[in-house]
């Protein structure tokens, strides 16, 4: 096939001498359907495992259904959503998720950034081993983290309370205490996440051009000023990533809560995902799915805000 | 050309794989339909090795005698509850399954026609004649599946449960105590143990549910069959404004304030509490019959069991307890008659003996030759027989309404944490219970 003249071409930017594919025939140069064919398998999987279930979930959320037999489901419109808005326990759970944000998001960033900056500046040996160890909690299943911390915090035989008592303190029962249970879960979440932040920041710091640091030192900047002026701005994208990911984790907190307090004592550690699961188990599937949809929307909105605020900016 | 060829081949391969997968699934469905003639599937909540083996033993013998291949699958209770209805709806369900009583699962499944009524099999095998009516009531629904606690059988359990006090004999003998015969004696024993510096009651409520038993046991000292059945089966005037509800709550707080409950109990899980009790950390532990095996293995001769003693000899305590998860026939069963025969096998004397040997309480009375005196299991079995004889098996209070478990456990934690008074506690329960009728 002869390449079409750029004068006659209508696709893309014009540049002389570049062959353009014919729109009508799948020619040797590549059919316009080719990119879509490459996308098809992934799209199929995405449709089957994401799109269709989401559509089904939205449909279920508009019904009163006990989750047992679909024949018994009745259409109720947005009643489930209105019930959630009017439900005190929904708002309590939501409040708890918001409370967890500083613990799941801010604290791990600080705990990850500090050693990352230190290791980067000092160019420490053995940092790889340190990195592997610090990252380990992040890849532990949430249930395992919960069980381990439940033992650590056991008021009778756990090492934390026995040590504190040996030192003369009267520690609370942590996970069983109405005041301390939620902060304790927040702390466990921070512990699980800071390794991830550390690894991301270390990688990010490595791509900051060293001449920026040289220039800063030439201008007389000390370590802290270097960090503020060079490191932090250079980590903008990494900050966006950890903020978004940790925000999602804060909103969908479930495993650790279920494995430690199961929402207790009372309702003091109830979170949206747990409340949703309890309603699902309580034969209120429509209502539970409505909570799930709302949680997904809230999480998506938060992620978009973060990405907008910390979005693409060229260094 | 090459790229297109590659694409064609890849596409063909992918399509072929998808098709093959589809065919094999269909084939599996069709195949299992014909295989189900020879295959007899039973789903239970027995994931532990002891009870899973029990099922295999009983089931394989049944399979051999009836020319079917017995297949058992154990699930976590919650997972079974979520999977079973959907499996039955898509004709992938088992012949027989454990189906959780009441509105947790049995009620909705009965109304949706996913499990079969057992009325005619009851007549054939005389289950209603052979087992305690108060036990079978909790497996019964009206024929339309709407009213719980009366009518016909929709499931039959093979086991029972009762909650009581396991005790460490060493602590008792060290403090000159004997098994309390009255509630007052029990409180005296707890006081004595506390004064001696021992932990009277090894108790852990981090996972919320153990308080249901302790509270229920206290409430059971001051209640009647009529009231409790009315509350659980949701009929008559029974509700949470009854004086026994506040009184039991007040007593629970009194025990906590007196230091009878283990220090730090609100941060200790039930499993950890049990491990602590078995390791000798305290004198008494309230737990269900399911813990007997572990206590027997851990404490040996040092272990004993007693039920909640009555306030006086003319009052019957209604003990927290009930039946194990009943077995129902699903509508996927190829041969419901055979399924019913299997269920009857599970409640035969032979099976009961096997359950007892495995440390489980059977549905009926336990034969005397299984009761070894002065052992923890012997105490349990003797106590069980007596309770059965006196129609003294009460209920789990969280059965009173759908989703009541959540409310009751939370309120109990608030009560024990000093966040609510006994009156406020009763009020919370009553508000939810009353609203659940709307």
Q: What is the ipTM for the molecules in this complex?
A: 0.83
Q: Helix, strand or coil for residue A230? A: helix
CA distance A229 to B62: 78
* DSSP count for chain A of H helices, then E strands: 16, 2
Distance of CA B64 to the CA centre of its chain: 30
Sign of CA dihedral B216, B220, B225, B230: negative
CA distance A246 to A108: 9
CA distance B57 to B63: 10
Kindly give the pairing relationship between strand B96-98 and strand B69-74. Answer: unpaired
Whether the Cβ atoms of residue A66 and residue A287 lie closer than 8 Å to each other: no
* Structural domains of chain A, ranges and CATH numbers in brackets: 79-310 (1.10.3720.10)
* DSSP count for chain B of H helices, then E strands: 19, 12
> Chain A residues with CB-CB distance to B under 8 A?
26, 28, 30-31, 34, 37, 41, 66-72, 150-151, 153-157, 161, 173-178, 260-267, 278-284
Task: Please answer yes or no on whether B264 and A267 come within 8 Å at the CB atom.
Answer: no
Q: What is the distance in angstroms between the Cα of A288 and the nearest Cα belonging to chain B? A: 13
pLDDT of residue B77: 86
Chain A neighbors of B104, CB-CB under 8 A: 283
Nearest to A261 among B206, B263, B402 (CB): B206
Q: Helix, strand or coil for residue A63? A: strand
pLDDT of residue A126: 64
pLDDT per residue, tens digit, chain A (315 aa), is: 444 444 444 444 444 545 555 555 545 567 888 999 999 999 999 999 999 999 999 999 999 998 888 888 999 999 999 999 999 999 999 999 999 999 999 999 999 999 898 888 777 766 677 788 888 999 999 999 999 999 999 999 999 999 999 999 999 999 999 999 999 999 999 999 999 999 999 999 989 888 888 898 898 988 888 888 888 889 999 999 999 999 999 999 999 999 999 999 999 999 999 999 999 888 899 999 999 999 999 999 999 999 888 866 544
List, in order, residues 6 or more apart from B13 with CB less than 8 Å away: none
Q: What is the distance in angstroms between the Cα of A208 and the nearest Cα belonging to chain B? A: 40
Instruction: Please choose, from the candidates B229, B228, B234, the residue with its C-alpha nearest in 3D space to the C-alpha of residue B137.
Output: B229
CA distance B43 to B48: 14
Instruction: Please choose, from the candidates B270, B255, B267, the residue with its C-alpha nearest in 3D space to the C-alpha of residue B199.
Output: B255
Q: What angle is formed at CA B427 by the lines to CA B425 and CA B430, rounded to 5 degrees?
A: 115
Contacts 24+ apart (CB under 8 A), B138-143: B138/B101, B138/B102, B138/B232, B138/B322, B138/B323, B138/B395, B139/B101, B139/B106, B139/B323, B139/B326, B141/B106, B141/B107, B141/B110, B143/B117, B143/B119
Task: Please answer yes or no on whether A34 and B114 come within 8 Å at the CB atom.
Answer: no
The two three-digit tokens of residue B238, written as one number: 């029974």
Chain A residue with the nearest C-alpha to that of B90: A69
Chain A neighbors of B13, CB-CB under 8 A: none
CA distance B62 to B343: 10
Chain A neighbors of B264, CB-CB under 8 A: 154-156, 161, 173, 176
Rg, chain B, Cα only: 25
Distance of CA B368 to the CA centre of its chain: 24
Segments in chain B below pLDDT 50: 1-8, 10-12, 14-36
Chain A neighbors of B144, CB-CB under 8 A: none
Task: Please answer yes or no on whether A281 and B82 come within 8 Å at the CB atom.
Answer: yes
The two three-digit tokens of residue A241, written as one number: 């990533």
Instruction: Please choose, from the candidates A39, A182, A195, the residue with its C-alpha nearest in 3D space to the C-alpha of residue A100.
Output: A182
Residue A306, beta-bridge partner list: none
Nearest to B269 among A31, A150, A263 (CB): A150
Whether the Cβ atoms of residue A124 and residue A116 lie closer than 8 Å to each other: no
pLDDT of residue A133: 86
Which helix (H) or strand (E) covers residue B165, if one does? Answer: strand B159-168
pLDDT of residue A229: 87
Q: What angle is formed at CA B48 by the lines to CA B32 and CA B323, rounded to 5 degrees?
A: 90
Chain B neighbors of A153, CB-CB under 8 A: 267
Task: Please answer yes or no on whether A156 and B281 come within 8 Å at the CB atom.
Answer: yes
Kindly give the pairing relationship between strand A74-75 and strand A63-64. Answer: antiparallel
The packing angle between helices A127-139 and A181-206, to 10°, is 140
């Amino acid at each position: 096939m002869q390449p079409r003249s750029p004068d006659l071409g209508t696709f893309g930017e014009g540049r002389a001498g570049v062959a353009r594919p014919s729109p009508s025939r799948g020619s040797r140069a590549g059919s316009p359907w080719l990119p879509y064919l490459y996308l098809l398998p992934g799209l199929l999987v995405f449709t089957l495992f994401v799109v269709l279930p989401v559509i089904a979930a939205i449909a279920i959320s508009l019904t009163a259904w006990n989750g047992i037999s679909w024949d018994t489901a009745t259409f109720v419109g947005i009643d489930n959503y209105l019930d959630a808005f009017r439900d005190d326990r929904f708002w309590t759970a939501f409040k708890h998720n918001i409370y967890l944000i500083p613990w799941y998001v801010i604290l791990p960033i600080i705990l990850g950034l500090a050693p990352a900056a230190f290791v980067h500046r000092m160019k420490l040996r053995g940092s790889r081993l340190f990195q592997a160890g610090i990252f380990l909690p992040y890849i532990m299943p949430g249930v395992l983290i919960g069980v381990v911390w439940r033992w650590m915090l056991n008021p009778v035989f756990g090492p934390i309370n026995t040590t504190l008592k040996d030192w003369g303190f009267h520690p609370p029962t942590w996970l069983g205490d109405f005041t301390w249970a939620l902060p304790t879960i927040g702390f466990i979440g921070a512990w699980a996440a800071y390794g991830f932040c550390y690894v991301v920041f270390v990688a990010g710091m490595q791509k900051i051009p060293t001449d920026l640091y040289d220039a800063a030192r030439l201008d007389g900047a000390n370590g802290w000023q270097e960090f503020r002026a060079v490191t932090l701005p250079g980590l903008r994208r990494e900050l966006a990533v950890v903020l978004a990911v940790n925000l999602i984790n804060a909103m969908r907190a479930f495993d650790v809560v279920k494995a430690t307090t199961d929402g207790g004592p009372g309702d003091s550690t109830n979170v949206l995902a747990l409340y949703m699961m309890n309603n699902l188990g309580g034969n209120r599937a429509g209502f539970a799915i409505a909570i799930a949809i709302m949680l997904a929307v809230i999480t998506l909105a938060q992620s978009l805000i973060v990405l907008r605020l910390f979005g693409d900016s060229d260094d | 050309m090459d790229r297109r060829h590659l694409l064609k081949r890849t596409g063909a391969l992918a399509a072929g794989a998808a098709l093959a997968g589809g065919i094999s699934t269909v084939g599996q469905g069709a195949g299992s339909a014909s295989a189900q003639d020879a295959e007899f599937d039973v789903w239970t909540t027995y994931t532990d090795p002891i009870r899973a083996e029990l099922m295999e033993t009983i089931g394989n013998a049944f399979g051999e005698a009836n020319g079917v291949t017995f297949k058992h699958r154990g699930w976590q209770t919650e997972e079974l509850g979520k999977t079973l209805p959907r499996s039955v709806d898509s004709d992938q369900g088992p012949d027989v399954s454990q189906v959780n009583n009441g509105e947790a699962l049995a009620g909705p499944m009965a109304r949706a026609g996913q499990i079969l009524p057992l009325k005619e099999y009851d007549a054939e095998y005389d289950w209603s004649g052979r087992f305690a009516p108060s036990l079978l009531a909790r497996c019964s629904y009206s024929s339309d599946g709407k009213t719980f606690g009366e009518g016909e059988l929709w499931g039959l359990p093979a086991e029972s449960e009762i909650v009581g006090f396991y005790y460490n004999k060493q602590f008792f003998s060290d403090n000159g105590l004997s098994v309390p015969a009255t509630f007052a004696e029990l409180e005296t024993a707890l006081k004595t143990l506390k004064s001696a510096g021992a932990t009277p009651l090894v108790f852990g409520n981090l996972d919320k549910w153990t308080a249901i038993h302790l509270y229920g046991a206290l409430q059971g000292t001051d209640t009647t069959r009529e009231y409790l059945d009315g509350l659980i089966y949701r009929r008559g005037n029974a509700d949470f404004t009854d004086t026994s509800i506040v009184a039991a709550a007040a007593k629970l707080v009194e025990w906590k304030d007196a230091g009878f409950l283990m220090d730090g109990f609100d941060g200790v899980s039930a499993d950890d509490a049990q491990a602590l009790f078995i390791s000798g950390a305290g004198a008494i532990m309230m737990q269900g019959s399911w813990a007997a095996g572990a206590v027997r293995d851990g404490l040996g001769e040092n272990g004993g069991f007693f039920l909640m003693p009555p306030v006086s000899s003319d009052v019957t305590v209604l003990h927290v307890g009930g039946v194990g998860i009943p077995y129902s026939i699903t509508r996927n069963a190829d041969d419901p008659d055979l399924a019913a025969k299997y269920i009857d096998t599970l409640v035969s004397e032979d099976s009961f003996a096997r359950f007892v040997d495995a440390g489980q309480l059977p549905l009926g009375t336990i034969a005397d030759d299984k009761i070894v005196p002065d052992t923890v299991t012997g105490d349990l079995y003797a106590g069980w027989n007596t309770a059965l004889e006196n129609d003294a098996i009460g209920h789990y209070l969280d059965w009173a309404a759908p989703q009541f478990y959540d409310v009751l456990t939370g309120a109990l934690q608030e009560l024990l944490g000093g966040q609510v008074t006994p009156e406020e506690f009763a009020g919370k329960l009553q508000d939810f219970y009353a609203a659940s009728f709307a």
